Amino acid sequence: MHRVNKSGADVIVTKSIGPIPRKGHPGPVLTTSHGGLLNAVGLTNPGIDNFGDEMQELKSLGVPVVLSIFGNSIDEIVEVAQKGSEMKPTALELNLSCPHAEISQISHNPDLTYKYVRAVKETVDCPVFAKITPNASDIVSVAKAAEKAGADAIVAINTLRGMKIDIHQKRPVLGNLVGGYSGPPIFPIAVRCVYDLYNVLFIPIIGVGGVSTWEDAIEMHLAGASAIQVGTAMIEGFDIFKEIKSGVNKYLQENGFSDISEIIGLAGGSQK
Amino acid sequence: MNMDKLMGTPTSVRVKEVTKETNRTVTLFFDVKDEVEIKPGQFLMVWVPTVDEIPMSISYWNLPTLGISVQEIGDATSALVNMKSGDWIGIRGPFGNSFALDSKNALVVGGGIGIAPLRPLVEDLLARNIEVTLLVAAKTKDELVLYNFSELKPSNFTLEIATDDGSAGHKGFATDATEKLLEEKTFDKIYTCGPELMMHGLYQIASKHGISIEVSMERYMKCGCGLCGTCALDPDGQLVCVEGPIFSENSLKSIKEFGQYHRDATGTKKKF
């Protein structure tokens, strides 16, 4: 994470941290299909009680840190949020939607989403982001429920449920059989989700899903994202952050904009 | 972004031949279809169907045939040790950097199964007419992985053996045997792979004698290709899978966890 910081990222989002140490799924935890990446890492993390040192180190860099957390029940996520907020992150991001772990169902359901977000908001003072899944049949209702519960921003989207079968061995490749699909092929789905959400939400949207170039970042901003997250594209190296930022700045300059805020949602959506 | 290539082109192959090296160690041979370039020190991610995916040093190649040497340690390695010809495995890679063949008079030290990546290194060094002293170390005589080294007769090759219990060769640790060898001979470089405390001891010996050193590091690894961060080293986040697994004295002096601690499957720090 030191290196991500050095490479020009303005904010660092941690991997999701839960209540206890968790090994994750057996390997393979990663494979590819049709130009994208399938992962079933399975929320590997050292547990919130072991994460204080790492947060301390990260914060010493002076870069804003968003602590991503999850819990299998409302009590669990409240406990992790409580402990996490004591580490003074810039914000908490609630992973309500990992498609290959037990928590996958929360953000399929507006009521559950409301309850989780509400419970955390009542516990902590820092900003709370809700990360939601494109696998839900109605992401708009889910995002609205999170907003109603007091979420300070929506992070869209998590990975898509997917699978890869090895035709020689005739079995699924991932240890967990099913995984989350990420990378460039999911980008148009992420853009559609952000666009739809921008039309109905009052709170900011953080766009994520397949962004791998500065053109993607611009497209995501035009769809309505106030900020962009990059994950899978780091496979090509950490220069991605500098490349995106300089490309975006050049685009703004060439098109007569003085600030990124001027292009957010400019593609036709109308935030309320 | 060629995701398949970045992920090391996942391929399924059948085990062609199994050679027993010791009671607990075998070498598995298999053929690859694609043209691959392999350098000594590189590794593959090996999918052991229904069990896990683990990093394995490449211990042999004569294209299209590759070999990996496996010692029974956990679930995945015990499944591999029990494989027979015709069984399927999946491979990705090769990954990582390689040993630099810039020595004139090399001491190569392999501890236990750590000898695996050193076998092709020794062959490459000998082929370049570099003076090579190979020290093979293990707990007991029965655990020495010697490949065909005792039959090698080139004039630029010397084989030394060390066992903790003295059942063959020098009695004592590889570090003790190295100190003794340094009283008789001079080397300009040490190459080593084996238990980290042994490698750390050799690093200290090398520093004391002003000898250059390259060690092959091992860390818990999930993706093998610079994405998951599981193998990141403190404090700079150097990745064993991308910047390593081979690190020279210049990198080692800034890796504060070298010989001190590593992270387990959950990311929790564990002392050596």
Distances in Å between the Cα of B131 and the Cα atoms of A249, A266, B154, B176 are: 56, 68, 10, 21
Report pLDDT digits (tens) over A6-41. Answer: 778 899 999 999 999 999 999 999 999 999 999 999
Indicate which residues of A carry an active-site annotation: 98
Which residues make beta-bridge pairs with B157?
A: B132
- Give B208: exposed, middle or buried? Use CB within 10 Å, 0-12, 13-18, 19+: exposed
The DSSP annotation for chain B comes to --HHHHTT--EEEEEEEEEE-SSSEEEEEEE-SS-----TT-EEEEEETTTEEEEEEEEEEETTEEEEEEE--SHHHHHHHT--TT-EEEEEEEES-------SEEEEEEEGGGGTTHHHHHHHHHHTT-EEEEEEEESSGGG---TTGGG---TTEEEEEEETTSSSSEES-HHHHHHHHHHH---SEEEEES-HHHHHHHHHHHHHHT-EEEEE-----SSSSSSS-TTEETTTTEETTTT-SEEEHHHHTT-TTTTTEEE-TTS-EEE-
A-chain residues near B7 (CB < 8 A) = 30-32, 37, 235
Supply the pLDDT for residue A133.
93
CA dihedral B227, B231, B236, B238 (to 10 degrees): -70
Q: Is the CB of residue B84 less than 8 Å from the CB of residue B19?
A: no
Give the percent of chain A with pLDDT over 90: 82
Contacts of residue B115, Cβ cutoff 8 Å, sequence gap at least 6 = B59, B69, B136, B145, B147, B193, B194
Of the pLDDT bands very low, low, confident and very high (cuts 50, 70, 90), residue A102 is low
Distances in Å between the Cα of A18 and the Cα atoms of A73, B96, B196 are: 11, 31, 30
User: What's the CATH superfamily of A2-23+41-158+188-263?
Assistant: Aldolase class I (3.20.20.70)
Supply the pLDDT for residue B267.
87
Supply the pLDDT for residue A271.
64
Q: Considering chain B, what is the average pLDDT of its residues?
A: 95
Of the pLDDT bands very low, low, confident and very high (cuts 50, 70, 90), residue B227 is confident
Of the pLDDT bands very low, low, confident and very high (cuts 50, 70, 90), residue B1 is confident
Q: Tell me if A235 and B222 make a contact (CB, 8 A cut-off).
A: no
Nearest Cα to Cα of residue A209 among A233, A243, A227, A186: A186
Task: Answer yes or no: is pLDDT of A103 > 80.
Answer: no
B-contacting residues in A 205-234 (Cβ below 8 Å):
212, 232-234
Q: Name the residue among A2, A29, A233 with its Cβ closest to that of B235.
A: A2
Shortest Cα–Cα distance, A34 to chain B (Å): 8
Six-digit token string for A29: 């935890």
Task: Answer yes or no: is pLDDT of A272 > 80.
Answer: no
Best of B2, B3, B13, B227 to substitute, by most chain A Cβ atoms within 10 angstroms, is B3
Six-digit token string for B34: 């694609």
Give the percent of chain A with pLDDT over 70: 95
Backbone angles phi, psi at B59, to 5 degrees: -105, -5
Report pLDDT digits (tens) over A42-76. Answer: 999 999 999 998 899 888 888 899 999 999 999 99
B-chain residues near A35 (CB < 8 A) = 1, 3-4
Q: Name the residue among A27, A35, A46 with its Cβ closest to that of B47.
A: A27
Report pLDDT digits (tens) over B184-223. Answer: 999 999 999 999 999 999 999 999 999 999 999 999 999 9
Of the pLDDT bands very low, low, confident and very high (cuts 50, 70, 90), residue B257 is very high
CB proximity A61 to B under 8 Å: no
Backbone angles phi, psi at B203, to 5 degrees: -60, -40
Residues A176, A178: Cα–Cα separation, whole Å: 6
Supply the pLDDT for residue B130.
97
Q: Is the CB of residue B16 less than 8 Å from the CB of residue B66?
A: no
Topology of domain B105-271, CATH: Rossmann fold (3.40.50)
Task: Answer yes or no: is pLDDT of A255 > 60.
Answer: yes
Q: What angle do CA B234, B235, B239 make, to 5 degrees?
A: 55
Q: Tell me if B265 and A31 make a contact (CB, 8 A cut-off).
A: no
The residue in chain A having the minimum alpha-carbon distance to the alpha carbon of residue B225 is A235
Shortest Cα–Cα distance, A102 to chain B (Å): 17
Average pLDDT over residues A196-225: 97
Task: Answer yes or no: is pLDDT of A231 > 60.
Answer: yes
pTM of the model: 0.90
Of the pLDDT bands very low, low, confident and very high (cuts 50, 70, 90), residue A206 is very high
Average pLDDT over residues B4-25: 94
The dihedral region occupied by B165, where left means phi > 0, alpha psi between -120 and 50, and beta the remainder, is alpha
- Give A43: exposed, middle or buried? Use CB within 10 Å, 0-12, 13-18, 19+: buried
Task: Answer yes or no: is pLDDT of A268 > 80.
Answer: no
Shortest Cα–Cα distance, A162 to chain B (Å): 16
Q: Tell me if B1 and A233 make a contact (CB, 8 A cut-off).
A: yes
A-chain residues near B50 (CB < 8 A) = 171
Q: Tell me if B228 and A29 make a contact (CB, 8 A cut-off).
A: yes
Q: Tell me if B53 and A29 make a contact (CB, 8 A cut-off).
A: yes
Average pLDDT over residues B220-233: 91
Q: Tell me if A27 and B236 make a contact (CB, 8 A cut-off).
A: no
**pLDDT higher at A107 or A245:** A245
Which residues of chain B does CATH 2.40.30.10 include? 3-95
Task: Answer yes or no: is pLDDT of B272 > 60.
Answer: yes
Shortest Cα–Cα distance, A257 to chain B (Å): 29
Report pLDDT digits (tens) over A108-156. Answer: 899 999 999 999 999 999 999 999 999 988 999 999 999 999 999 999 9
Q: Tell me if B90 and A237 make a contact (CB, 8 A cut-off).
A: no
| Assigned architecture for domain B3-95 | Beta Barrel (2.40)
Distances in Å between the Cα of B36 and the Cα atoms of B5, B40, B108, B146, B240 are: 12, 13, 26, 26, 21
Supply the pLDDT for residue B221.
93
Q: Tell me if A27 and B237 make a contact (CB, 8 A cut-off).
A: no
Shortest Cα–Cα distance, A271 to chain B (Å): 33
Supply the pLDDT for residue A240.
92
Q: Tell me if B54 and A3 make a contact (CB, 8 A cut-off).
A: no
